[in-house]
Amino acid sequence: MNIVSIYPHPMDEQYRHDQNVTIISNNKIYSYEEAKLRGAKTDEGNSIPIRSLFFGFKEINLVPQKIDYWIFSKPFRKISLEGYKYFFVDLLKATTKKDLKKFITKNVIEIPHHMGHIYNGFFASPFKSSKILSIDGGGDFGDQRRMLWGEINYKGSDKLNFKKFGETFNNQGLGIAAFHNHLTDVLGFYDNNGKTSGLAAYGKFSKQLYAKLKNFFLLDLKKQKIIFSNKRKKTSTQFEKIKYQTFEPKKYLKISPTNSKLLNICKKYKAEDIAITGEKLLIDITIDFIKSIFATNKDNLICVGGLFNNVVLNKEIIKKTEFKNYYFSMSPGDSGLSLGMALYIKFKHKKKKFSKKYMSKFGLSPYLGPSFKDFEIKEIIQNFNLNYKKFDSYKKVNSFLVKKIVDGKIIGLFRGRGEYGPRSLGSRSILADPRNINSKQKLNLFIKRRDWFMPFAPAIIEEKFSEYFNDEKASLYMQLTQKAGSYFKKIAPAACHVDNSCRTQLVIKEFNPSFHDLILKFGKLTGCYSILNTSFNRHGISTISSPYQAVEHLLGGTIEYLIINNFIISLEENRIMKKN
């Protein structure tokens, strides 16, 4: 059985973001985001994720004519036959104009936005039953809910059971996720909520500001009511700031911060104090809501939807509630919707989750993106006329790499299949030595060129995680923070944030043996079984997705050594360096 799942609906008229595609063929799976292949950090304005679709056909070795089911998110309005004709007949040649109507009836399935979130959370988790909560900024016009929660299981049955406990809709007002976005805008970060969380670690909590921020909410947890209100005024455009290499439409269509009542309230406070106080309110309201909607804590809990990209919130949920186990998916926001919809249809027909090749006790493998063969890589390297070395195994490459990392070099790692979701997890990563506190400064100021207060994540092999973080919960996807103990702070100071928190990545051998081997070798040499890991990209663009982009980053001075599969390329050997 062959399945293609696409978000958003490619023929829908509404303006959406986070375009993504999933393809499942028997027991093979591909999932990837369009923004990574376009090279833009945000991809507003594009409706058909054609690049991620075609790269999926290449990865899985399929053609459109072989697809049994086409899965889309529920559209705003019913799509006309002419609309489908452009996509299925003219563009993909999946069917003929004569057979189109019958094809749509038989092969096309539409799933509401928040059910896509629910399916993403459940089928990517290792659970057979769980309480589940979906919260995002407000779904889309085809599913105008902002929260949905209930219980889901297939325990003792091959039939999926989802019992809805409750839901809220956009016409009731803005929700808790919107508050986080508005708070981030007040700080001048547009919609980059991760910056708010990063800055919060430097702040001082203000009880006075907390009370003022809480006044923006109408809260009635007995009635499951969380309504946030903050009217923002229109801002002027700033097209003079357009940059070809970092195209971000939202920054040209409005100025951040936007003039609003929330901005006026916050003007008297320091940015870092606004961040930590707002984050505290976000956490308190979300946890109180979870406690109010789920009466028993004996079950598992899955949290999904864009709100749960907040790793500090996720950690506090674990700390302050008492569920049996927790799961936060690799891509909880809209970029995970195609995966959720596809996994549901696969289960509906096959009555089981994926095999151990993709599933572990921690959840689904995140390495679901495109890969490149050696002949493709070699052709790109030769077209750039670069000097390079090639080893015959990743273990030999890792032996070479470890020494360079110890010497303080910044490494670009492009190996195997790309990661699905917002985090780089050892396939499209920039690596550095966590023992050297200067690694953080070197990465932030000279390589990534991003805000000084943003932390970096340590990747840690499973065998050493409990030694470094005791009984803290771990995530394969960097979806949780942990408090660093004195020992880890001593051996990996560059991996610890100012508040001693770490957004860790658990590395298990079965999903990424080459990355696991690299960290193991580094640990045997240094005594530190962790490596500093950040996304492979310059500031303002998405995580890179092709060997060509990787070479461009090397020659642009973003990294000092580039690894593409088993090819090694040195910046020093391929570029005349400017002398100070």
Question: What is the residue type of 214?
Answer: K
Task: Answer yes or no: are the C-beta atoms of 324 and 299 closer than 8 Å.
Answer: yes
The two tokens of residue 335 are 């970029």
Task: Provide mean pLDDT across the span 508-530.
Answer: 97
Q: Give every CB contact of residue 56 below 8 A, 6+ residues apart in sequence.
A: 4, 21, 22, 23, 30, 32, 62, 370
Task: Provide mean pLDDT across the span 237-258.
Answer: 63
User: What per-residue confidence (pLDDT) applies to 240?
Assistant: 60
**Residue 237: band (very low, low, confident or very high) from pLDDT cuts 50, 70, 90:** low
Does 577 score more than 60 pLDDT?
A: no
Distance CA 534, CA 30 (A): 23
Summarize pLDDT for 357-381 with one digit per residue, the tens: 899 999 999 999 999 999 999 999 9
Q: Give every CB contact of residue 211 below 8 A, 6+ residues apart in sequence.
A: none
* Angle of CA points 119, 122, 123, to nearest 5°: 80
For 149, phi then psi, to 5°, come to -145, 155
The two tokens of residue 75 are 């559209």
Q: Distances from the Cα of 191 to the Cαs of 41, 92, 198, 254, 286, in angstroms?
A: 12, 34, 14, 12, 19
Q: Give every CB contact of residue 575 below 8 A, 6+ residues apart in sequence.
A: 555, 557
Mark out the alpha helices in 150-257 (DSSP H runs).
176-186, 193-200, 207-214, 249-253
Does 250 score more than 80 pLDDT?
A: no
User: What per-residue confidence (pLDDT) applies to 18?
Assistant: 87
Q: Which of 251-265, 361-375, 543-557 has the lowest mean pLDDT?
A: 251-265
**Residue 264: band (very low, low, confident or very high) from pLDDT cuts 50, 70, 90:** very high
Task: Provide mean pLDDT across the span 28-42.
Answer: 86
Q: How far is CA 274 from the centre of its chain?
A: 25
Does 569 score more than 60 pLDDT?
A: yes
Q: Give every CB contact of residue 573 below 8 A, 6+ residues apart in sequence.
A: 387
Residue that the structure tokens 């005594």 belong to: 527
Percent of the chain whose predicted confidence (pLDDT) is above 90: 73
**Residue 72: band (very low, low, confident or very high) from pLDDT cuts 50, 70, 90:** very high
The kind and range of the H/E element at 551 are helix 547-555
**Residue 420: band (very low, low, confident or very high) from pLDDT cuts 50, 70, 90:** very high
**Residue 242: band (very low, low, confident or very high) from pLDDT cuts 50, 70, 90:** low
Q: Which of 153-157, 194-198, 222-226 has the lowest mean pLDDT?
A: 153-157
User: What per-residue confidence (pLDDT) applies to 191?
Assistant: 81
**Residue 236: band (very low, low, confident or very high) from pLDDT cuts 50, 70, 90:** low
The two tokens of residue 237 are 């455009």
User: What per-residue confidence (pLDDT) applies to 221?
Assistant: 84
Tell me the average pLDDT of the chain.
90
Q: How far is the first Cα of the chain from the last one, in angstroms, to the nearest whole number? A: 60
Q: Distances from the Cα of 394 to the Cαs of 170, 521, 528, in angstroms?
A: 50, 12, 20
Does 71 score more than 80 pLDDT?
A: yes
Residue 260: helix, strand or coil by DSSP?
strand
Higher pLDDT, 447 or 405: 405
Residue 565: helix, strand or coil by DSSP?
coil
Around Cβ 168, how many Cβ atoms within 10 Å?
Answer: 19
Task: Answer yes or no: are the C-beta atoms of 326 and 143 closer than 8 Å.
Answer: no
Does 337 score more than 90 pLDDT?
A: yes
Sign of the alpha-carbon dihedral angle for 509, 514, 515, 521? positive
User: What per-residue confidence (pLDDT) applies to 252?
Assistant: 61
**Residue 446: band (very low, low, confident or very high) from pLDDT cuts 50, 70, 90:** low
**Residue 349: band (very low, low, confident or very high) from pLDDT cuts 50, 70, 90:** confident
Does 241 score more than 80 pLDDT?
A: no
**Residue 245: band (very low, low, confident or very high) from pLDDT cuts 50, 70, 90:** low
**Residue 56: band (very low, low, confident or very high) from pLDDT cuts 50, 70, 90:** very high
**Residue 247: band (very low, low, confident or very high) from pLDDT cuts 50, 70, 90:** low
The kind and range of the H/E element at 340 are helix 337-350
Does 110 score more than 90 pLDDT?
A: yes
Question: What is the residue type of 168?
Answer: T
Does 343 score more than 70 pLDDT?
A: yes
Q: How far is CA 45 from the centre of its chain?
A: 20
Q: Within a 13 Å sphere around the CA of 33, how many CA atoms are in the beta-carbon half?
A: 28
Identify which of 13-17, 445-449, 536-540, 547-551 has the greatest average pLDDT.
Answer: 547-551
Distance CA 547, CA 529 (A): 28
Summarize pLDDT for 293-336 with one digit per residue, the tens: 997 678 999 999 999 999 999 999 999 999 999 999 999 999 99
Around Cβ 99, how many Cβ atoms within 10 Å?
Answer: 13
Distance CA 250, CA 42 (A): 8
Q: Which of 231-240, 477-486, 500-509, 525-534 has the lowest mean pLDDT?
A: 231-240
Does 188 score more than 60 pLDDT?
A: yes
Task: Answer yes or no: are the C-beta atoms of 42 and 7 closer than 8 Å.
Answer: no
User: What per-residue confidence (pLDDT) applies to 108?
Assistant: 97
User: What per-residue confidence (pLDDT) applies to 249?
Assistant: 65
Residue 95: helix, strand or coil by DSSP?
coil
